[in-house]
């Protein structure tokens, strides 16, 4: 099984952008771009594909999710966090909200 940090270590080997280690912009913009690619593919599924999630599209979306993960790993690194810690913090936050019946609603710190 691949852990988050093993993934991040491998991703880091392929992070060859300018000023790596002191550049939050590149992975932040990349994350937006790859997220946009996912939205675009789903938009086209609605527009051109009768809203049907084909196996080809599923596969394509899975690859784009991987691209999103790569940028999350890179941005995590740029802000000084391990990917594992990001995942752990998010799990803890949401499980805490669930326990307090605060999943619904808005606000980052509810
Ligand atoms: Mg992509």
- pLDDT of 16 reads 95
Ligand 1: centre distance to CA 53 (Å)? 18
Ligand 1: centre distance to CA 2 (Å)? 21
Ligand 1: centre distance to CA 35 (Å)? 8
Measured distance CA(66)–CA(63) in Å, rounded: 5
Catalogue the long-range contacts made by 33-41 (C-beta closer than 8 Å, 24 or more residues apart).
Answer: 34/64, 34/67, 34/68, 34/70, 34/71, 35/68, 37/64, 37/67, 38/64, 38/65, 38/68
- pLDDT of 110 reads 78
Tell me: the pLDDT tens digits for 33-92? 999 999 999 999 999 999 999 999 999 999 999 999 999 999 999 999 999 999 999 999
Measured distance CA(41)–CA(25) in Å, rounded: 24
The pTM of the full predicted model, rounded to 2 decimals, is 0.92
Ligand 1: centre distance to CA 95 (Å)? 30
Measured distance CA(70)–CA(34) in Å, rounded: 10
């Amino acid at each position: 099984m691949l852990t988050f940090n093993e993934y991040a270590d491998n991703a880091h080997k392929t992070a060859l952008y300018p000023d790596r280690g002191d550049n939050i912009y590149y992975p932040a913009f990349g994350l937006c771009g790859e997220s946009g690619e996912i939205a675009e593919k789903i938009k086209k599924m609605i527009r051109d594909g009768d809203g049907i999630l084909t196996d080809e599209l599923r596969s394509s979306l899975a690859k784009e999710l991987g691209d999103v993960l790569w940028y999350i790993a890179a941005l995590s690194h740029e802000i000084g966090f391990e990917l594992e810690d990001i995942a752990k913090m998010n799990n803890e936050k949401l499980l805490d909200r669930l326990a307090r019946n605060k999943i619904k609603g808005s606000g980052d710190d509810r």
